[in-house]
Homo-oligomer: A and B are copies of this chain.
Amino acid sequence: MKLITRNTDYAVRALCCIAEQKQEVISGDQLVKSLEMPRPFLRKILQTLNKEGLLTSSKGKGGGFALAASPEGITLIEVMKIFQGPIKLSEHKFKKSDCPRINDCLLKKKIDEIEKEVIVKLKAITISSILKNRR
């Protein structure tokens, strides 16, 4: 019942780390050292973030990754969508298709209300607001 998967969590940590960096561009290997996470896993995450337009990348010596937007402009929900798909707290599948009862499920209606509020909260979280949380 976890809201955030490891993909997303690592991606956010990487984005935070890049945002804090003095030099704009930082290589994957430097990030591995700072963040202590499995190299090939982080590499894949960085590639995805680049493909989705949250990072820019450059190859070759001196290359690496940089933020494509300011830390204020990168929201958590955006990262979640990339790695976890759209937020659906009350998804209810039955062998790949939706539950036949989904339209009259009373519980689903209640959960949908909670979902709306969670989405509002998530939209308010950005890389910069996460960094501000720190002491």
List A residues at the B interface (Cβ < 8 Å). 1-6, 9, 12-13, 16, 36, 76, 80, 84-85, 87-92, 99-101, 105-111, 113-115, 117-118, 121-122, 125, 129-131, 133-134
Chain B residues whose CB sits within 8 angstroms of the CB of A114 once the complex forms: 3, 118, 121-122
User: A102 CB to closest chain B CB, in angstroms?
Assistant: 10
* Chain B residues whose C-beta falls within 8 Å of the C-beta of A110 in the assembled complex: 76, 125, 129-130, 133
A134–B87 Cα distance when bound, in Å, is: 25
Q: Are B2 and A89 in contact (CB under 8 A)?
A: yes
Closest to A11 in B: B107
Question: What's the number of copies of this chain in the assembled complex?
Answer: 2
- List chain B residues, Cβ under 8 A from A2: 1, 88-92
- Contacting residue for A84 out of B1, B101, B106, CB 8 A: B1
A125 to B100, CA, bound (A): 23
Residues in chain B near residue A3, CB distance under 8 A: 1, 89-90, 111, 114-115
A85 to chain B, nearest CB (A): 8
Write out the residue numbers on chain B whose beta carbons fall within 8 Å of the beta carbon of A100: 36
Task: Decide if A106 touches B16 in the complex (CB within 8 Å).
Answer: yes
Q: How far is the CA of A118 from the CA of B100 in the complex (A)?
A: 27
